[in-house]
Amino acid sequence: MAMELVWPYVVSASNPSVNCFLDWAKNQKNELYKLKYQQIFWYLQAIINFRTGVRYNQPLLKSAACRIFAPIWSARRHPIYQAIEIADEEQLIRLRPEIRQIIENNSVVAQSGWSNQHQGLDAILEEVNKTLKTLIPPIPAQKHWEMAARNCTKFMKLRKKLFATMGYADSESSGPRSRPDYEEESQRFRIRLRKTGFLNPNLNHSFEGLDKNNKLSVQMKSFSNKAQAQRINYIKGKFGLIKSEPTRSIPVTFDEAQLQSSESSLKKEEIVFAIENLIGSLNEAKRPQFRGLRTKKKRNY
């Protein structure tokens, strides 16, 4: 999709260049093109940069990628990742500078798996764990784990030689997994994008999905701005700078936006927050009867 975002500029420019493309993209008015540009060149690129930073020991690249992608946690409902991101940032801020520097410089690990598999640390550990399980009994004791872990490389070499001598094919391969060939599928997708003009700002003026069945919500036109604003408010609420208020995820489709606007979709904390705002406009004499609203239980009549 990245290549198809660049294609409309390439065919219209007499002498295309990277800087000219960036200027051209900034001046585009097509809302769908701007949205896809942000999704691909901001957020998807942030994921790629994060993995690159982890794989090649580049802590600054990893940190920058996390910062760019962070608004996504506030844009949709990801409360756990929201809390983790802010907690990590707060801990780093409170540390002494020299301690913080040590942590940031050692926040990534060298990639030791198969280079063509794009393996991160979790995948590498899973491969090691899988290998160890082939060397221990079905119900292992602690000593079995220790023996396998300390002698894993020797055991695997011995196993390989033994199976070769026996003429036995090892079904539990410890070599690199095959990398799926996605070139053909990618090419078909690019052909469809170009035929429909989905990413051509001069041809496609509809704000809807590729299948034409889902109209996108108006809120998606300012997705990044809204996501960043919600993240800022979340941080301020956590630090007590403003009163915490319930937030809703940015609706992706028009139907989702319609559902959010209905009263039946309101949650308890949203209803209580709206009522408390109304109470604030009442006279002082009438406010006491509404105290403890959040702790009141529903009555059955």
What's the pLDDT band for 230 if we cut at 50, 70, 90? very high
- pLDDT at residue 30, rounded to an integer: 94
**Alpha-helix residue ranges (DSSP H) falling in 13-151:** 18-26, 31-38, 45-55, 59-69, 71-75, 79-94, 97-105, 121-133, 142-150
- Reduced to 3 states, what is the DSSP secondary structure of residue 163? helix
The count of C-alpha atoms lying within 13 angstroms of the C-alpha of 247, restricted to the half-sphere facing its C-beta, is 23
Tell me the two tokens of residue 10: 């390439």
Kindly report the average pLDDT of the chain as a whole number.
82
Distance separating alpha carbons of residues 94 and 103, to the nearest angstrom = 13
HSE-CB for 273 with a 13 A CA cutoff = 11
Residue 260's pLDDT band (cuts 50, 70, 90): confident
Give the confidence band of 301 by pLDDT, cuts at 50, 70, 90. Answer: very low
Asked if pLDDT for residue 283 goes beyond 90, the answer is no
132 burial type by CB count under 10 A (0-12 exposed, 13-18 middle, 19+ buried): middle
Give residue 167's pLDDT band: very low, low, confident or very high (50, 70, 90). confident
Residue 70 has pLDDT above 60, yes or no: yes
Lowest mean pLDDT among 119-123, 203-207, 253-257, 278-282: 119-123
Question: For residue range 77-119, what is the model confidence (pLDDT) as tens digits?
Answer: 898 999 999 998 889 889 999 998 888 877 776 555 555 455 5
CA–CA gap between residue 250 and residue 81 (Å, rounded): 16
CA atoms within 13 A on the CB side of 252: 7
| pLDDT for position 112 | 52
Distance of CA 279 to the CA centre of its chain: 39
pTM: 0.67
Question: Could you tell me if 246 and 272 are in contact, meaning their C-beta atoms sit under 8 angstroms apart?
Answer: no
| 32: CB partners within 8 A, 6+ apart | 198, 199, 201, 204, 206, 207, 208, 216
- Residue 117 CB-density burial (10 A; 0-12 exposed, 13-18 middle, 19+ buried): middle
pLDDT digits (tens, 9 = 90+) for 27-60: 999 999 999 999 999 999 999 999 888 777 788 8
